[in-house]
Amino acid sequence: MLDVRYGPDMDFMHPVQAVIPGTQGMVLAVLAETTAELSLRTTARLASVSPSQASRVLPGLVELGLVERREVPPSSLFRLNRENVAAQVVIGLARSRETVLERMGAAANELPLRPVSLIIFGSFARREADRESDIDAVLVRPDEADDDIWAAGVEQWRTRVRALTGNPVGVIEISQSEARDKLSNGSELWRDITRDGVVPHGATLDELRTVVHA
């Protein structure tokens, strides 16, 4: 079997800075989050850098075409040039969490035996996932399912998500009827899942709670 090794985990709290380190990444992360024009001082404050640090990197970003500058004496206003190809990469990094959720859902939908629901919980669901974080998931299986096909699908999904994020992936497997009971009367873990869970594929948490079995 091919031994696939991954490098450092992705920091989904600061995805732009994880790929573009230093002041440049911090400034670009701020500009990627808004379409508004920002002054140098506002940009520096939001990026948690000093105005002098921001003033050293912004001219280079303007020269590269990633950032637009408009003079409003005595100030200059800056915003990301969203038509720029490199800026679009920065925007993609900034929304990497949303992209990962979409692709995790798509990966679940492509399995030979599709789960009734995929629930992402924990730090990733709470927008707190950093380099030390795992991806925590619940895969809800149909009550009547072939064990071998299901097990192969779970491993396929786990491997896909590990490659997608770089982060370790933990999976809780549970049947649809068990999920109903756990979500309604479960432990602290299941109360956390109920509170924080994000569903990129299949039945919602409310639907799982109210499903009626014949």
Instruction: Name the residue ranges covered by the structural domains of the chain.
Output: 15-93, 96-210
Arithmetic mean of pLDDT over the chain: 91
CATH 1.10.10.10 fits 15-93, yes or no: yes
pLDDT digits (tens, 9 = 90+) for 148-202: 999 999 999 999 999 998 889 999 999 999 998 898 887 889 999 999 999 999 9
Tell me what percent of the residues of the chain surpass a pLDDT of 70: 94
Instruction: Output the pLDDT for position 209.
Output: 87
Cis status, amide bond into 74, omega within 30 of 0:
yes
Q: What is the pTM of this model?
A: 0.80
Spatial strand order in the sheet of 198-202: 169-175, 135-141, 117-121, 198-202
Which of 1, 9, 4, 47 has the alpha carbon at shortest distance from 131?
A: 9
For residue 197, give both structure tokens. 């869970």
d(CA 9, CA 4): 14
CATH 3.30.460.10 fits 96-210, yes or no: yes
Which of 110, 56, 51, 62 has the alpha carbon at shortest distance from 86?
A: 62
More confident residue, 187 or 214: 187
Angle at 154 between CA 151 and CA 155, to 5 degrees: 90
pLDDT digits (tens, 9 = 90+) for 63-108: 999 999 999 998 999 999 999 999 999 999 999 999 999 999 999 9
- Taking 50 as the threshold, does the pLDDT of residue 17 lie above it? yes
d(CA 23, CA 198): 32
Largest separation between any pair of C-alpha atoms in the chain: 73
Q: How far, CA to CA in Å, does 154 sit from each of 61, 117, 167?
A: 44, 12, 16
d(CA 68, CA 44): 16
d(CA 205, CA 180): 9
